[in-house]
Structure 1
Amino acid sequence: MKNQRPPPGYYEVPYRRQGRVRRFYGKLMLAGWLGTKPDNFETNWLIKLCPAGKRCLVVAHNNTTTVYNKFGLMKDRFNSVFPGGNENEPNPNAFTVLDCIYVVLLRPSIEVYYFVLDVLAWNCVPFRQVSALTRFEWLHTRFEEVEVIGREQFLIHREFEKPPEEQNDYKFFLIEALDPSELPNLLAEPYSTQLTGINVKLDGILFYEKTSLYKMCFKNPLVGWLKPFMVQQILYPNLDLHLSYSPIIGYSVMEKYIPDTEKTKRQLKKLKKQRRAWMQRQAMQREAMQVEAMQVEEGEN
């Protein structure tokens, strides 16, 4: 079995829990809420429309492609055409690291999609200290070169009669960086038809200052986040918002929504911690009962 070590540059801040070292814990860049409209918003910023899904890190290395969630736990492994991600890779040290959104559709059949947000490394070239504008332009060019995905359609290498080791086992879609001036028109139409033609909901919009770097495990002040129904309040008061982006029940203003959301997250985190502790106690009790039963059985014999 090959030594499944992370690619170079990803050893810092290893996170250990329950005896496991999570090498990819805390590698995703976080975004803060976009509370006000930035200066030179139309000229110095870029936007990306994000589907509802789970953030993950896709690592092509050691001739395989591995998916890690935001906690550093491995979720999947498959072949891909990304450098370092398949057995046919000529360079044994090649690696590619992508920031993605993992989406699973259950109807009419189970389909898995990876929406590529950003790039941390491509074919051994690091991009964490490169501006957002350059990263996004590089991604766009690389996706066109390898023919993984076009801007508005899904393409899988098995459709091009490539050998199995060069195929993508799942469909990847590049989320293009767009000019902010396009946002009003984009939010006037349903998200599922304007990008992919599949039933994927829009979760929110990421805003990148063009010179921003990729800061792992850090809320980058030059990267903002808004839900679709917040855009009208913060950016475009006269926005004609499509009905599919209507505010959730109980939403009034962003200033009230954010504290309520953070409070709910803290409560859920506390409940998960309590549940985990309860399950550990139950496991210890079962183990103690088994030991006691074995001792009683030995005493009877």
Structure 2
Amino acid sequence: MAPNDLRRPFKRPDISDQQRRREQSLLRQAQNRRDAQHQARCLASTAFSLASQTLEPPVSESELEIEAVPESLPGHEPENEQGPSPRDFNVVQASKLKSVEAKKWFAKQLMHPEWMIDIPDGLSQDWYVFARPSGKRCFVVSSNGTTISRLRNGSILHRFPSALPNGARKKDVSGSAQSYSILDCIFHELDQTYYVIDMVCWRGYSLYDCTAEFRFFWLNSKLAETGACDSPSHYHKYRFSLVPVYNCDHNGLYAAYTEAVPYAKDGLLFYNKHAHYQTGITPLALVWKDENCSQYVIDTDSEGQVPSQQQVVLELQEDGKLTTSDDPPMVFGCLDGSFIAQSELKSGCLLRFAIGEGGLVFVDGKLEKADLHYLGKANRARASADSFSKVMFQYSVRHSPLRIDDLLGSVSSPLHQGSKPCDVEMDG
């Protein structure tokens, strides 16, 4: 350790290639435009097609998730659809999936942030920041006179009338009866409010291929017009609310970290302004937390206690390798064939391990060895293994945490102005 090196907390080149992956992700989204209209249709149709099926009940720690169907925004026309695609097949099959398979399919539909291992280049110019509400992550889909929110495992959290477009059966509904909207939300149980953190589709217009800067502007402009942010009523069972989003300069970061909000905070979320809405894990969205902005910084065990050793959940592959949920996955170790047979483990199982005193060993910035000790199968409610960034964030928290002073020190000095949200403030 080098306690006098002020730059040490800012970058961790020996354990992280997060910046390289951020650059690659931006390049890929510029080169490969997704068929946004088709993606949204898949989400909406699958969300409702599963509504009549019996799925696992919601789990307290589960995240919500769902997909919907949009048309493209002006200037964001989708590619032409030519016959059935693999995604068509996946959506049809997804409506029949149950248990583990359903969890895996739905787990891939939300955009999940990586955990902040190092501080991005251009943090103060290219990123937004906001305090993440504590609660259940979900997709909320309004269509055909009803609104459904779904957990990541495919189970319905709520089916209810809402003031969202086509979200309730009212005679004075404007717009096409076939249009739908999809919001990425966190349901905060204490005040029974859906806090909207992103917009995927609005009145049939897809925002998948729009930048976060545009999506936040659109969300801030459109949601309040519907009355969805008003108090609950007969045709609006749950209240929706926006969160204050700040430019990630010194003032904005400090405000997101310290200012009071009407919900319990669960860390800070950072969004790259140029990032599209990418399903799965992306380095263009990052989560960071400490004990001052989150009740849970270090992962707890099944009894809610912080274990003496860090625990990780990995997926068992056919060849015995233990991998993370990343794409491509990161290999943390390998189980012997005899142990797999003796323990009656199968490919695809999620297994829990403790990281022993040997810790994690890196060579030239790559994981070389992990001191893993098998604890057993993971909770059945788990939809996927841990991501590499989550494992590394938890490891850093225990050994050399990235602190708020490090983040503040990486952005420009405060300007002589108040700490006000940026133009895309979401404070409904």
TM over 0.5: yes
Matched, 1:72 2:154: yes
Q: Give structure 1 regions of 4+ aligned residues with deviation exceeding 6 angstroms.
A: 19-23
5 Å matches for 1:76-225? Answer: 76-88=158-170, 89-90=173-174, 91-105=176-190, 111-149=191-229, 155-156=230-231, 158=233, 164=234, 167-181=235-249, 182-189=252-259, 194-196=260-262, 200-216=263-279, 218-225=280-287
d(CA) in 1 for partners of 2:196 and 2:109? 15
Counterpart in the other structure of 2:379: 272
Measured after TM superposition, the shift of residue 133 of structure 1 is 0.5
Contact 1:203 1:228 in 2 (8 A): no
The secondary structure found in structure 2 opposite 1:168 is coil
Structure ID, larger Rg:
1
CA 1:137 to 1:266, structure 2 compared with 1: closer, same or farther past 3 Å? farther
The secondary structure found in structure 1 opposite 2:312 is helix
d(CA) in 1 for partners of 2:245 and 2:142? 23
1:221-244 Cα deviation digits (max 9, x unpaired): 211111144xxxxxxxxxxxxx56
Unaligned runs of 5+ in 1: 106-110, 150-154, 159-163, 230-242, 252-256, 275-301
CA 1:96 to 1:195, structure 2 compared with 1: closer, same or farther past 3 Å? same
TM normalised by structure 2 equals: 0.47
Give the paired residue count.
229
Question: Equivalent pairs: percent with the same residue?
Answer: 25
Contact 1:84 1:94 in 2 (8 A): yes
CA 1:80 to 1:271, structure 2 compared with 1: closer, same or farther past 3 Å? same
1:196-249 Cα deviation digits (max 9, x unpaired): 2xxx32111111110101111x111211111144xxxxxxxxxxxxx5658857
Contact 2:232 2:239 in 1 (8 A): no
Measured after TM superposition, the shift of residue 100 of structure 1 is 0.4
CA 1:99 to 1:212, structure 2 compared with 1: closer, same or farther past 3 Å? same
Unaligned runs of 5+ in 2: 1-45, 50-66, 71-86, 301-306, 315-349, 353-374, 382-428
Counterpart in the other structure of 2:81: none
1:43-83 Cα deviation digits (max 9, x unpaired): 11011211111101101012100010012221210111111
1:75-118 Cα deviation digits (max 9, x unpaired): 2101111112111234220100010001112xxxxx41111011
Counterpart in the other structure of 2:69: 8
Q: CA RMSD in A?
A: 3.5
Question: Higher helix fraction: Structure 1 or Structure 2?
Answer: 1
